[in-house]
C-alpha cells in the first residue's frame, strides 16, 4: 500500500534525540512512573498488584476497569462503547481502515495530524481538505464545510482541540457540524487526544461521541494525562462501529500491554491530580509564551485556547525547514517546521514541556532572531 511519508513524525524521528531543548514535543511534560505512583498513593504497594499479574494477552478489548475509567470521561458512554488501542495513533488508523473504502468521499480539516488525510488518501478515497484559516482563528468555516458535503460523504475528520493551532471548537460549533453531517448521514471522527487541556475551567470541552449518533471520538494517555510511554489510546463510538473496527484490530493489535492497561486505569482514576499538574504546566507556560510573542516583532500568532502547541508566523525570508534547521544548528532548539503540516511560513512550538526548558528555549530563539537584525 502506497502512503505519503508522515511529515511531522519524520521530522521528530530525525531530530528529537539530537536537540538540546525540545520545543517541538506535543505531550504535556511526561511523568515518571514514580510520580504517577505517588499521585495514586501506590508507590509502596504497586508490586502487590503487578507480581501476580499473568503476562498473557490480558483482556482483548481492554480491561473492564480501564474501559469504565475511559467511559467516565464522557457524558453518555458506557464500557461497551470503549475500545482500547495502541495509542491514539492506533485508534485513528483503525477508524479510517474500518470506515473508508476506495472511492469514498472524505473531508478532513487541515492543518491537523496527517493520519486524517493521508490514510484515507492511501486507501483510495477522494479526500477534500477544509482549510483552517488564521482569519477565522483557525476554526472551520461551516459554510465551506456545508458546500463540500455530498449525499455520499462517508467521513468528516476533525481534531478538537487542534494540533498545531491550539484552536478549540465549543459545544455549539461541534453540534452544528454534527447537524451538517446528519443531513447526509456522514460519520464524524473527532480526534480528541488533547481533550482535557483547555486553558480555562476543568479543561474539558464536549466530546463528539456524546453529541452525535454517528460521532466517533479518539483519545489517549499521551497529552493531557502526560503518559505517552504507555502507548495507550481508545476509540469511543457506537457499538456497531467498534465491531467493524474489531475486525481490523484482530489483524494488527490483538490487545495492548496489560501493565500499560493497569497504569492507564490508575492514572485515569487519579485524573484530578494528573490534570492539576498538567494544567499548571500548560497554563503557566502559555502565559510565558504569550509574553514572549508580545515582545518579538517578527513573530505573530493566534493565541491557543487549548492543547499544547501554537502555530507561530514568522517574518523572515526563509522556508520553515531552513528556519528550523538553522535554529537547531545554531542554538540547539527544536521547533517543528510548518511545511511538515502543510503550513509553510509558520513553525509549531510545543509549550507544555518543563517551564525551564521553555524559558531557556525562548531566550535562545530570541538570540537567533536578533542575529537576523531588526525589522
Residues that bind ligand PLP (CB under 6 A): 26, 87-89, 92, 113, 159, 163, 191, 193, 220, 222, 228, 233
132-139 long-range contacts, Cβ below 8 Å, gap at least 24? 132/162, 132/165, 132/167, 134/302, 134/313, 137/167, 137/302, 138/162, 138/165, 138/166, 138/167, 138/302, 138/311, 139/167, 139/169, 139/173
**Nearest to ligand PLP of 81, 159 (CB atom):** 159
* Residue with smallest beta-carbon separation from ligand PLP: 87
- To ligand PLP, the closest distance from the beta carbon of 126 in angstroms equals 23
**Nearest to ligand PLP of 191, 260 (CB atom):** 191
**Nearest to ligand PLP of 193, 281 (CB atom):** 193
CA dist 286 and 283 (Å) reads 5
Pairing of strands 309-314, 346-350: antiparallel
Pairing of strands 309-314, 299-301: antiparallel
- To ligand PLP, the closest distance from the beta carbon of 87 in angstroms equals 3
DSSP-based three-state secondary structure for 337: strand
- To ligand PLP, the closest distance from the beta carbon of 124 in angstroms equals 23
- To ligand PLP, the closest distance from the beta carbon of 234 in angstroms equals 9
**Nearest to ligand PLP of 193, 263 (CB atom):** 193
CA dist 113 and 107 (Å) reads 14
- To ligand PLP, the closest distance from the beta carbon of 363 in angstroms equals 26
**Nearest to ligand PLP of 120, 233 (CB atom):** 233
- To ligand PLP, the closest distance from the beta carbon of 318 in angstroms equals 25
Which of the 8 DSSP states describes residue 81? G
- To ligand PLP, the closest distance from the beta carbon of 74 in angstroms equals 17
CA dist 26 and 222 (Å) reads 9
> How many C-beta neighbours within 10 Å does residue 132 have?
24
Question: Rounded to 5 degrees, what are φ and ψ at 312?
Answer: -105, 125
Angle between helices 115-123 and 87-99 (to 10 degrees): 40
- To ligand PLP, the closest distance from the beta carbon of 319 in angstroms equals 23
Which of the 8 DSSP states describes residue 20? S
**Nearest to ligand PLP of 88, 285 (CB atom):** 88
**Nearest to ligand PLP of 186, 264 (CB atom):** 264
Burial (CB count within 10 angstroms: exposed 0-12, middle 13-18, buried 19+), residue 146: middle
DSSP-based three-state secondary structure for 82: strand
**Nearest to ligand PLP of 107, 369 (CB atom):** 107
Amino acid at each position: 500500500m502506497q502512503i505519503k511519508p508522515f511529515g511531522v513524525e519524520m521530522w521528530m524521528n530525525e531530530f528529537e534525540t539530537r536537540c538540546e531543548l525540545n520545543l517541538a514535543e506535543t505531550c504535556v511534560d511526561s511523568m515518571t512512573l514514580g510520580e504517577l505512583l505517588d499521585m495514586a498513593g501506590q508507590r509502596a504497594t504497586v508490586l502487590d498488584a503487578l507480581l501476580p499479574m499473568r503476562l498473557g494477552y490480558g483482556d482483548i478489548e481492554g480491561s473492564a476497569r480501564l474501559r469504565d475509567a475511559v467511559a467516565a470521561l464522557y457524558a453518555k458512554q458506557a464500557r461497551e462503547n470503549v475500545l482500547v488501542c495502541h495509542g491514539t495513533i492506533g485508534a485513528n488508523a483503525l477508524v479510517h481502515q474500518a470506515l473508508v473504502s476506495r472511492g469514498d468521499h472524505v473531508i478532513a480539516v487541515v492543518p491537523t495530524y496527517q493520519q486524517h488525510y493521508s490514510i484515507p488518501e492511501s486507501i483510495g478515497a477522494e479526500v477534500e481538505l477544509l482549510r483552517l484559516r488564521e482569519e477565522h482563528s483557525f476554526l472551520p468555516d461551516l459554510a465551506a464545510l456545508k458546500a463540500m458535503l455530498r449525499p455520499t460523504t462517508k467521513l468528516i475528520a476533525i481534531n478538537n482541540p487542534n494540533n498545531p493551532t491550539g484552536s478549540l471548537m465549543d459545544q455549539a460549533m461541534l453540534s452544528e457540524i454534527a447537524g451538517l453531517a446528519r443531513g447526509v448521514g456522514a460519520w464524524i471522527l473527532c480526534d480528541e487526544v488533547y481533550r482535557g487541556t483547555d486553558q480555562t475551567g476543568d479543561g474539558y470541552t464536549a466530546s463528539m461521541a456524546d453529541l452525535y449518533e454517528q460521532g466517533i471520538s479518539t483519545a489517549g494517555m499521551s497529552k493531557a494525562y502526560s503518559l505517552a510511554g504507555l502507548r495507550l489510546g481508545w476509540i469511543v463510538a457506537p457499538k456497531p462501529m467498534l465491531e467493524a473496527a474489531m475486525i481490523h484490530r484482530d489483524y494488527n493489535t490483538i490487545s495492548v500491554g496489560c501493565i500499560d492497561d493497569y497504569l492507564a486505569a490508575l492514572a485515569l482514576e487519579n485524573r484530578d491530580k494528573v490534570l492539576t499538574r498538567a494544567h499548571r504546566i500548560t497554563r503557566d507556560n502559555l502565559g510565558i509564551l504569550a509574553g514572549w510573542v508580545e515582545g518579538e516583532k517578527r513573530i505573530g500568532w493566534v493565541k491557543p485556547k487549548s492543547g499544547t502547541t501554537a502555530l507561530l508566523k514568522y517574518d523572515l525570508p526563509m522556508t520553515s525547514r531552513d528556519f528550523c534547521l538553522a535554529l537547531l544548528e545554531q542554538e540547539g532548539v527544536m521547533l517543528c517546521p510548518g511545511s511538515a503540516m502543510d503550513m509553510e511560513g509558520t513553525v509549531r512550538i510545543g509549550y507544555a514541556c518543563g517551564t525551564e526548558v521553555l524559558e531557556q528555549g525562548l531566550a535562545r530563539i530570541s538570540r537567533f532572531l536578533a542575529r537576523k537584525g531588526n525589522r
